[in-house]
Structure 1
């Protein structure tokens, strides 16, 4: 069973107050595209048919090379990353939820950002962290819109009450960027998804 931590305010919840739901971004009712690095898959799908802009995009990380710096690979899908690295974890404490490749912060600071070329209303990812992690959403002027918190570490094979790959999602009107921060900890992201 997938668990998700959700918070729709700027207040930090107690662990008991965190709501756990299956999927806060409600992708079942949206047009979802699995986004690859190249647009070949998109271009082939058009072929004289009117193309409908997807409402939700889930990034395919498997085309990234291990230890590749991730920045503009998904720009044509509307997202640019900062301080991000693709890895295939050798540490079993950080398992991928699908495939082999995940994203992580490329510095020891435990901080990763995603900037959207057009505003989105929901962002989610499966997160495994060595400590408490905060997902923050910002508007165009870099004003905080909302935060979602993973209250503690959720490493695999640990005594954590949270399983690895806990789904964190955040909803707000017109999100222009999000940041994941584990305050000098380490974390991985898998199935990074955003919806308009």
Structure 2
């Protein structure tokens, strides 16, 4: 399947097994993190001295979405932290099927439904996000040349108050060296994304 010039190689990476999620929140120890930065749209005075290009591994940057306005198009707001979004909108869900995980604000793919992209200004090694989706969702990581590196799959919908075996805000993550971008694709479904973190 070709979407926006990206070839998604589903057949080699599909699984019928349902993953077990022990905890639907971001777990720092999962990535053996020595330092974690909570990144806001507006830098605080303590953040002014941080240069993302000089951050040493292992350090994770977790985005605080609460500074975003509802229905704000999200693209360059976190560029000073090293990430640019594409086809992304900040919302505060009113539909109870899409509960928030932490805070009130989440990201969703818009104006094109079911697709969201994050591009990194320098390569990262791990990316994670909590996802609630109306159908199966694939998180794909790519290198500088847009070659597929790794995928993480939410095998079915996980809306709240549904018969899904997966909880809302399920954690998806990819780990691979030299990740330059990730995409989230629910194939024209609807999804929300929160707790977006990446590690260098």
* TM-score range relative to shorter protein: 0.7 to 0.9
- 1:29 and 1:36 map into 2 onto residues whose CA distance is 19
Q: Does 1:11 align with 2:13?
A: yes
Q: How far off is 1:96 after superposition?
A: 0.7
TM-score, normalised on structure 1?
Answer: 0.86
Q: Does 1:129 align with 2:133?
A: yes
Q: How far off is 1:38 after superposition?
A: 1.4
Q: How far off is 1:30 after superposition?
A: 2.7
| Structure 2 unaligned blocks of 5 or more | 1-11
Classify the secondary structure of the residue corresponding to 1:62: coil
TM-score, normalised on structure 2?
Answer: 0.84
1:173 is aligned to 177
- 1:164 and 1:20 map into 2 onto residues whose CA distance is 11
2:61 is aligned to 57
1:4 is aligned to none
2:8 is aligned to none
- 2:140 and 2:29 map into 1 onto residues whose CA distance is 15
Q: CA RMSD in A?
A: 2.2
Structure number with the higher helix fraction is 1
Listed one character per residue, the Cα deviations across residues 80-137 of structure 1 (whole Å, up to 9, x for unaligned) are 0000000000000001100100000012431000000000000000000000000000
Q: How far off is 1:25 after superposition?
A: 7.2
Q: How far off is 1:13 after superposition?
A: 1.5
Classify the secondary structure of the residue corresponding to 2:66: helix
Q: Summarize the Cα distance change of 1:35–1:96 in structure 2 as closer, same or farther, 3 Å threshold.
A: same
| Structure 1 unaligned blocks of 5 or more | 1-9
How many positions carry a matched residue from both structures? 182
Q: Does 1:151 align with 2:185?
A: no
